[in-house]
Structure 1
Amino acid sequence: MIAPLFDPAAFRIAPGIAHLCAAGETPFLRQHDAAFAAYAADKSDGPAGRHRQEAMMESARARAARMFHVAPPDIGFVSSVAEGVSMVVESLDWREGDTVLVDPDEYPSVVAPLTLQRQPKVGLRFAKAADPASFAAAIDGSTRMIGVSAVSFLNAARHDLVALRAAADKVGALLVVDFTQGAGWMPIHVDIADFAFSACYKWVLGCTGVAIAYWNPARQPGWVPSTAGWHSIASMGRPDWSETPPLLPGGARFTRGNPSHLGLYVLDSALTYLEGFAPEVIEAHVQRLTVGLLERLNIAGIPSTTNGSADMDRAADALIAEWRQAGAS
């Protein structure tokens, strides 16, 4: 039996229950109770409490930046991945005939914002993201964007972002990545993307209502969203509405209105917890559990939609050898 990496007692899990659906939603950390209490106290404490709410947002921003290996100013917050992708889609100067390449089984948050894009309508092309050669063959001069999840929600395939980045660069296309199914359990260097997003209620151990957004200023230095709000403009007080107000620099321009401060208190608590474990250790533990489960399902004749990537296959070989050495069947 593999010992837990995270103490089950740290989570709101009923006795006798093994929670196997982190890719869907994780149970709440008990330490988040303190985050709720801190938010309630700060929300009730006037201007001083408001300053503490903003400070908590900056703390969560810094922790998210460390997880993604980028600078804090490049990180912003949106309500969901769907909102973040929509902001990017709405900001682009689309031309007739432009296309976007996605996997036919891509998650709706990445694709749905494109389907309602009008004036002009954006064409969708499909290729299997797990086959970089197929993706590369589907790209041409009309391709404006590749939309992809780093890890598939459907079969857990880890996509080769380096290959997809190279394919996008050949035609000057954007690479927009949803890291939701990888953030929190595998090491991530998000700067391979032009824009990237992650929900926080799964492996990140946070809650709904807040998602992490990333804008790569080195690749897209002139990006400006097509909409704004009081929280994303530089002159929050009394702007001169006769002129277009300047936006906040960096990822802060993603947050048009009040962020989910309560969600950010929870996110800061969650990221604090995750910082107690090296990402490589979490990744190895998750892979060990996964290949062990897949092996037992295979022995029992139970099919699974989960794919085995090359690194998981290596982990599986090592784990099976360990079982055989121990006399396990």
Structure 2
Amino acid sequence: MTLAPHFAGGRDYLAACTLGLPPRATVAAVSADLQAAASGRPDVAAATRAVEDARRSYAHLVHAPVSGVAIAAQTSVAVSLIAAAVPDGAEVLCPEGDFASLVAPFAHAGRGVRLRSVPLSRLADEVTAETWLVAFSLVQSATGEVADAAGIAAAAARAGARTLCDLTQAAGWLPVDATLFDATVCHAYKWLCAPRGVGFLTLSPALARELRPVHAGWYSGDDPWASCYGVSAPLASDARRFDVSPAWQAFVGAAPALALFASADPAAVHAHTTGLAARFRAGMDLDEPPRPSAIVTWPDAEGCALARLTASGMIASGRAGRARVAFHVFNDEGDVDRALSALRGRLSAPLTVAL
């Protein structure tokens, strides 16, 4: 299944790792919802169906049971649910330089919780009997490096530690299996091309039993529409007890985007995106990573490479002193070749950008 025709744009856009482009169906769904609301006919029932459609599509995409998927609005809020369950004084192990939304809730958990950071390449080796949780991004935002998920999960299991994996920079181009981990989080506005404000939390039954629904609200109820008032209504018996109140319009747009990616061939998407990245690395004479990635980064402390791409009309990004480009389903070899052409003068006098 070729996904490019489902997008109106994408040429010279190399920043899916920053913000995904909405597919045509998402634009149509949100536009129709806005028009209905503007005419005095908002459809709350349809928005609620969109939430559940999005949940099912996401569960299919990451190979998780629907009963194990909770909806979220931000990854940091979902992570804070797990941070609240870390025992006093326990150790949380994470990679150096991982994204703040994943690690900050543990750094500020208090109660003597210890956050220890090590190089990603050594994460599995550093798990000890003192480690309560290993928290890491499957794909690093700053570098595009893909973690050895199976090795990390196996090391954690041997030590009796739990695992939390952030799929935000992976789901949508990298085939993932959320059941490999005790918990995963994902914000869908990047590679899944959904509106911002749509996220997901997956939980194993064992970890779910250890968590308190500290963000419980009306949508956490077994029957949300019967949970609007008071505290007598029971919470859902599955992961929905950890739901937050959904941003309806965002989910209206997310449902068709997630359905699109859930229906795609994950192997084909992976081959397409990593193939374009490999073509770019070859043109830049960059080393191939141990595990293929759709994100390519290289040192660019002064921002010269990013400035060249921008001056050529291309949209890219820079993170942690590195230039960063990403290749998604709406990109093709022409995008790669135009980016390389823009960068071929990188060894000559740097382009000066007025700030």
Name the TM tier (shorter chain): 0.7 to 0.9
Distance 2:214 2:130 in 1: 22
Query: Which residue type is aligned with residue 189 of structure 1?
Result: D
- Tell me whether 1:135 sits opposite 2:116 in the alignment: no
Distance 1:273 1:72 in 2: 18
For each residue in 1:144-180, what CA deviation from the matched residue of structure 2 results, as whole angstroms up to 9, or x when unmatched? Answer: 1111001111221111111111221223221000001
Q: Structure 2 unaligned segments of length 5 or more: list them.
A: 294-355
- Pairs within 5 Å for 1:71-82: 71-82=65-76
Conserved? CA contact 1:215–1:251, under 8 Å: yes
- Tell me whether 1:207 sits opposite 2:165 in the alignment: no
1:308 to 289, 299, 310: 289
Which secondary structure state, in structure 1, belongs to the residue aligned with residue 134 of structure 2? strand
Query: Which residue type is aligned with residue 87 of structure 2?
Result: W
Distance 2:208 2:239 in 1: 12
Paired position in structure 1 for 2:135: 147
Paired position in structure 2 for 1:265: 252
Distance 1:275 1:93 in 2: 33
Which secondary structure state, in structure 2, belongs to the residue aligned with residue 100 of structure 1? strand
TM-score, normalised to structure 1's length?
Answer: 0.80
Conserved? CA contact 1:103–1:128, under 8 Å: yes
- Tell me whether 1:85 sits opposite 2:79 in the alignment: yes
Distance 2:214 2:36 in 1: 33
2:103 to 107, 111, 117: 111
State the identity as a percent: 22
Moved more, 166-175 or 179-188: 166-175
Q: 1:218 to 1:41 in 2, by over 3 A?
A: farther
Q: Structure 1 unaligned segments of length 5 or more: list them.
A: 299-303, 313-329
Query: Which residue type is aligned with residue 11 of structure 1?
Result: A
Distance 2:202 2:263 in 1: 23
1:26 to 20, 40, 53: 20
Paired position in structure 2 for 1:123: 114
TM-score, normalised to structure 2's length?
Answer: 0.74
Shift of 1:230: 1.8
Q: 1:31 to 1:190 in 2, by over 3 A?
A: same
More RCO (CA 8 Å, sep 6+): 2
Which secondary structure state, in structure 2, belongs to the residue aligned with residue 231 of structure 1? helix
Paired position in structure 2 for 1:297: 284
Which secondary structure state, in structure 1, belongs to the residue aligned with residue 202 of structure 2? strand
Q: 1:5 to 1:113 in 2, by over 3 A?
A: same
1:39 to 19, 33, 47: 33
Distance 1:290 1:69 in 2: 26
Paired position in structure 1 for 2:8: 11
Paired position in structure 2 for 1:65: 59
Which secondary structure state, in structure 1, belongs to the residue aligned with residue 205 of structure 2? coil
Paired position in structure 1 for 2:274: 287
